[in-house]
Amino acid sequence: MSQNGLVNKLMITGKLKILTGLHIGGNSDFSPIGSVDSPFIRDSLTHEPIIPGSSIKGKIRTLLAKSMCNSYILNDVDKDNEKITRLFGSAGKNVTVFARLQFFDLFLNRDCVEALKNIETDTYFGEIKFENTISRLTGIANPRQIERVPAGTIFDFKLVYNVENKDELIEDMQTLADGLKLLQADYLGGHGSRGYGRVSFEDLNVKQIINEDNQIDINEIKSIFKGNKQL
């Protein structure tokens, strides 16, 4: 694995659209209704729903690791494929590999905020899903309320890629694109087996940050992400 100095930075931006109700758990300190058993995570300043960058990073890394694993049992993180380690980093016993990807927390798209203000929701920008767990022994139902970000909500997506080795750039971008596709075919957050957390990436764009390096073919990179929408 090659670790060189910083050559450039690429900014990858786009939109993440919620296709089915999304729940990423937070605490219950702020609950407009006051009786939600499982609220979603909110920005402490605006109380709007957010998606932590760590949730996106962790999910994509795990899906990529599963796709490259030759066993039913997933390997330890420090034994991930080199393609994954280059992007997401590793803190092994003998060597530390710094991540080339820097994820950002996802905040609500401002146009979406204005649209949500005109919609009557159960909580502030949220919906309440009522579910039951039933004991197989007693048959007694245990109802609960789960707060979800409604389908159709749009978040602004952003991450930065550190260009350290131009020879590995295209392969890294393909690995990232594969990870985004895997996420779109899976789910984000909790309760995915019940249909929660289906998402789609839209309007993905790539630009250089530090300088315009003619040796970096931005159009080729954009073509890798082109059409990277819900399967």
Number of domains the chain contains = 1
Instruction: Classify residue 56: in a domain, yes or no.
Output: yes
Is residue 107 a part of any domain in this protein? yes
Count helices and strands (H / E) in the chain. Answer: 5, 9
Assigned domain for 133 exists: yes
**Residue where the block lists tokens 């502030």:** 124
pLDDT at 161: 97
Spell out the alpha helix ranges (H) of the chain: 53-67, 82-88, 110-116, 169-184, 218-225
In a domain, 231, yes or no: no
The per-residue pLDDT for 29 is 47
Measured distance CA(43)–CA(28) in Å, rounded: 13
Intra-chain end-to-end CA distance of the chain, in Å? 32
Torsion of CA 185, 62, 58, 174, to 10 degrees: -70
pLDDT at 80 (0 to 100): 84
How many Å apart are CA 102 and CA 180, to the nearest integer?
15
User: Distance (Å, rounded) from C-alpha 30 to C-alpha 41?
Assistant: 10
Q: Tell me if residue 133 falls in helix, strand or coil.
A: strand
CA 179 – CA 204 distance, rounded (Å): 14
Q: Which two tokens stand for residue 12?
A: 């990858």
The C-alpha atoms of residue 98 and residue 65 are separated, in whole angstroms, by: 18
* Residue 148 falls inside a structural domain: yes
**Distance (Å, whole) CA 66 – CA 60:** 10
- Residue 230's pLDDT is 41
Give a yes or no: residue 122 inside a domain: yes
Distances in Å between the alpha carbon of 60 and those of 52, 80, 204?
A: 13, 13, 16
**1 within domain boundaries:** no
3 occurs within a structural domain: no
What is the mean pLDDT, run by run of 10 residues, along the chain of 231 residues?
76 97 75 66 94 96 91 77 92 77 97 92 91 73 86 97 95 96 96 94 93 86 77 33
| Full residue range of the structural domain in which residue 180 is found | 8-225
The pTM assigned to this predicted structure is: 0.87
